[in-house]
Amino acid sequence: MAVAKGKEKEQRDKATRSARTSSGGGGSRTPASREQRENVLVRTFRETRTELRKVVWPTREETIRLTMVVIAISSVIGLILFVGDSIFLALYTLLVNLVSS
């Protein structure tokens, strides 16, 4: 029965598309197009809610552990950038002092 409903929906979609393309493309918005646009919006929200129900959310322990990993990696990268920046600052200062003397 679900297959039959799917085929009916496909046929309606094809009929709608062919009616839209054969209408001449005058560009005028009809109430049907507004209704279809609202249906697209409703369908999008419905599909989003359905997909969010399928999400497997992490446990509290996983969240805490992964947060600690992110903080540790960010700290290491920050330290590397700080050391590199300090080295380049010292080299720049040395170069400026050599040129100005």
Would residue 49 count as lying in a domain?
Answer: yes
Would residue 12 count as lying in a domain?
Answer: no
pLDDT in the model for residue 14: 67
- Give average pLDDT by consecutive 10-residue segment, the chain, 101 residues: 62 63 53 73 92 93 98 98 98 94 75
pLDDT in the model for residue 17: 62
Would residue 96 count as lying in a domain?
Answer: yes
Would residue 74 count as lying in a domain?
Answer: yes
End-to-end CA distance of the chain: 90
pLDDT in the model for residue 53: 92
Would residue 24 count as lying in a domain?
Answer: no
Q: Is 18 left (phi over 0), alpha (psi -120 to 50) or beta?
A: alpha
pLDDT in the model for residue 69: 98
Would residue 61 count as lying in a domain?
Answer: yes
How many folded domains does the chain comprise? 1
pLDDT in the model for residue 5: 62
SS3 category, 28: coil
- Owning domain of residue 87: 30-100
pLDDT in the model for residue 15: 65
Q: In this structure, is the dihedral angle defined by the CA atoms of residues 44, 49, 53 and 58, taken in order, positive or negative?
A: positive
